Chains A and B, each alone.
Chain A
Amino acid sequence: MSRRASSLVAFLASVASSVASSSSAWALCSRDTAEIGSCGDYSIGVFAPLVYDINDNLAVRGHPLTFFVAPNAVLEVNHGGLGPVRLKGEYGLSVPTGGMMLLQGFVFPTWDHSDRQVGWFLVPRAGVVASLWRGEPHVLSGRVNLAVGVPLTHSDATPLGGIAPLELLFAPVLASYRAQIGVDYDRSLLPWLRARAGVDVFAFGDAPAITLRANLGVDIAVGEWSRFLVGCVWWNSDTGAIDLESHESARSNDFLPTVDFIWAG
């Protein structure tokens, strides 16, 4: 192991140790479930969205980093539950065009010599999350949602290909819609440590294109509400790759690390 890697392991171990020694008084809650307000009044990560609980039945969610170029918000509504199952509705709206225009020249063409353009879109989104508690430490959540691109003006932008998360991000406007169905399992291992695993299936476009995602990770408590997230995600998608031996289509498999810090209170 290199000196840098050794230093990183030592640093993570010391963080875990200090977290463990100072966190016996509080337990880390499960996140991204159907329950509103169970993890504090607000939370925000570097990559995770800002979530603000208006009350026990209503919360609002959005990505502040992109808000000013691509306004976006999701309203989370408590729909009650049946026995151990809780239900939450998600109703969102975004306007991604400003962000797409900023990416012209890189992700999208500039189109300097013609009237081709990135069009204006509204992207309404609706979904439901159902969580099953069989008493802590287990939480099983299922989610299904649909985002649709509603064109307001003509657009010449087409699906990107190449990288699954990027493709999915813009799928509602470039491929008309994006549908997601998934399930997460979240389990408390220690008061300051939770493990998470999940699988999602995404569909978009006419064919439709199918993308699979599986993730595995841990949440490490930092203080009463905040946490570090460390894990990895596997993407299986059609990015246009082919097998050079046979020249037949081949699905791409990508493994990416996931790291975030969610500050909550």
Chain B
Amino acid sequence: MPRTLLLLALLCSGCESLFTTWDERESFPILAVDGATQPTTPNPLRLRVMTWNIKYGAGRANFWFDMWGDRTEMPLAEVEENMQGLYDLIGEVDPDILVTEEIEINSRRSAYYDMVMGILENTDLQWAAYVPTWQSRYVPTEGLGRVNMGNCIFSKFRIIGNERIAQVDRTDQDFLTASFYLHRAVGRAEIEVGNDLVTVFSAHTEAYDRDRTNHKQQQQILELMREERNPFVMAGDLNALPPGSIKTEKFNDEAPASIGTEFEQPPYDPTDLQPFYDDYLEAIDLARYGTSEAEQSRYYTHSVIGADQMGANNEPGFWNRRLDYMFTAAPQGWTATDVLQQPGDAGIISVPMDLSDHCPVIGTWEIQP
């Protein structure tokens, strides 16, 4: 019966369906700023890379599913102000390649602001490869309405290919909920750097699953990395902790109200990412990550709540777990890597805690060490 109703809804919605179904692999448009020009090839071949989950330009607004507030939308002026903070920090880092997650192009909740065009127009990045992970014309939940959110790979160098690779969907939702829910995907961009072709993957795996979808999606990403023939970086928010993490539960930013709801934090298994570390090189390797909570906290990248809010453990919000990563494969490697938690890190003056619920990870990717 729900399927019949849904098909009827699809028929009645005419040209643009209420939600989107995806092929396994699809090509997507590549955007470029007017007058984009290929920069001089660096010698030796090294690129500054940055990955950042930008929380749809919401800064520290507490949306309803975080269970610390009940915001469902933002006025345009608020989004513009938040985006300016993102542009400023991106400008300070000045990356050659920027990988973003939770970036929106015309969602009602972010005032239909086109964040992809915004970053192209307000930074030195010239090309963009956007792939949607949540594209629904109308999500009938909490007045959410139209949503178009995804991953985007930005580059100063020419992007010549943009592919959306579908990830497995959750199996612990009913058909209607699953239809209007996110359909996670990996973005794969091929970038021309001098005479070389390099590949960048953007990933953002599931956050609220109870059926280990997140881990299945990680396995898919591993397969893509193993199949890749170009030098590559795989960057993004894997919603998983590094192996050896000391703090694995009872995080300060877990809202008591979320317990027992669909937005309760599923338990982490820190061994999930071990195969990534076994075969590939992460921007912050496990030796640097350390073996104590004090050492590891320097590399945390996520906090649901901001600094001006007291959390469940009666502590003000600050980064409390690591979810964001950048991997490459030998013989490529990393130098000058960091997690930009606060002003002063890598010389920045911006305040990352105010800009998103994730902070950026940066590094210099040595393609030809």
Contact residues of A with B, CB < 8 Å?
A: 105-114, 116, 157-158, 160-163, 235, 239-242, 244-245, 247, 252-257
- The reply to whether B142 and A109 form a contact with Cβ atoms under 8 Å apart is yes
Decide: A114 and B112 in contact? CB cutoff 8 A.
no
Q: Which of B10-18, B42-50, B83-91 contacts A (4 or more CB under 8 A)?
A: B10-18
Partner of B14, one of A113, A161, A255: A255
Partner of B141, one of A106, A240, A252, A256: A106
The answer to whether A162 touches B138 (Cβ under 8 A) is yes
B194 near A: Cβ within 8 Å?
A: no
Contact B137 A162 (CB under 8 A): yes
Determine if B114 and A240 form an interchain contact, defined as CB atoms under 8 angstroms apart. no
On chain B, the residues within 8 Å of A247 by CB distance are: 31, 105, 114, 116-117
Asked if B12 and A257 make an inter-chain contact with CB atoms under 8 angstroms apart, the answer reads yes
| Residue in A closest to B144 when the chains form the complex, CB atoms | A109
Is B28's beta carbon under 8 Å from chain A?
yes
A107 to chain B, nearest CB (A): 6
B64 in contact with A241 (CB, 8 Å): no
The docked-state distance in angstroms from the alpha carbon of A114 to that of B69 is: 7
Q: Contact between B15 and A255 (Cβ–Cβ < 8 Å)?
A: yes
A253:B70 contact, CB within 8 angstroms = no
State the Cβ distance, A89 to closest chain B Cβ, in Å.
34
Given contacts A110-B64, A235-B14, A252-B15, 14 further A-B contacts (CB under 8 A): A106-B143, A113-B69, A114-B69, A161-B138, A162-B108, A162-B138, A162-B145, A162-B146, A163-B137, A240-B146, A242-B148, A244-B28, A255-B15, A256-B14
Complex partner residue of A108 from B28, B106, B143, CB under 8 angstroms: B143
Measured CB to CB, the nearest residue on chain A to B136 is A162
Question: Interface size class for chain B?
Answer: 20 to 34
Determine whether B220 belongs to the interface, using a CB cutoff of 8 Å to chain A: no
Q: Is the interface of A mostly helix, strand, loop or mixed?
A: loop
* CA gap between A67 and B46 in the complex, in Å: 68
Q: How far is the CA of A245 from the CA of B148 in the complex (A)?
A: 14
**Contact across chains for B15 and A112 when beta carbons are under 8 A apart:** no
Cβ of A56 to closest chain B Cβ, rounded Å: 39
Nearest B residue to A252 via CB reads B16
Residue of B nearest to A253 (CB): B15
Distance between Cα atoms of A252 and B14 in the complex (Å): 9
Shortest 6 CB-CB distances between A and B: which pairs?
Answer: A254-B14, A162-B138, A113-B70, A109-B72, A255-B14, A109-B143
A245 CA / B68 CA spacing, docked (Å): 37
How far does the alpha carbon of A256 sit from the alpha carbon of B14 in the complex, in Å?
6
A163: B residues at CB distance < 8 A: 13, 137-138
B16 and A254 contacting across the interface, CB-CB below 8 Å? yes
B69 in contact with A241 (CB, 8 Å): no
Alpha-carbon distance between A158 and B110 when the two chains are bound, in angstroms: 13
Instruction: Verify if B101 is at the interface (C-beta below 8 Å from A).
Output: no
- Chain B: which residue is nearest A243 at the CB level? B29
Q: Chain B contacts of A255 at CB under 8 A?
A: 14-15
Partner pick for B142 among A110, A239, A240, CB 8 A cutoff = A110
| Residues on the B chain within 8 Å of A162, using CB | 108, 137-138, 145-146
The distance in angstroms between the C-alpha atoms of A242 and B106, with both chains bound, is: 7
**Which of chain B's residues 103-130 have a Cβ closer than 8 Å to chain A?**
105-106, 108, 112, 114, 116-117
B140 contacts which chain A residues (CB < 8 A)? 106-107
Shortest Cβ gap from A155 to chain B (Å): 13
Residue among B62, B64, B116, B137 facing the most chain A CB atoms (10 A cut-off): B137
Q: Which A residues lie within 8 Å of B70 (CB)?
A: 109-114, 116
Q: B102 contacts the other chain (Cβ, under 8 Å)?
A: no
Residues of chain A lying within 8 A (CB to CB) of residue B68: 113
Residues of B close to A241: CB separation below 8 A: 16, 106, 137, 146
CA distance A264 to B145 in the complex (A): 38
Given A106-B141, A114-B70, A255-B14: A161 and B108 interface contact (C-beta under 8 Å): yes
Q: Which of B1-38 contact A (CB under 8 A)?
A: 11-16, 28-29, 31
Q: How far is the CA of A5 from the CA of B289 in the complex (A)?
A: 64
In the bound complex, do residue B145 and residue A160 qualify as a contact, i.e. CB atoms below 8 Å apart? Answer: yes
19 A-B pairs with CB atoms under 8 Å apart are A106-B141, A109-B64, A109-B70, A113-B70, A157-B143, A160-B108, A160-B145, A161-B108, A161-B112, A161-B146, A162-B137, A162-B145, A163-B13, A163-B137, A239-B146, A252-B16, A254-B13, A254-B15, A257-B11
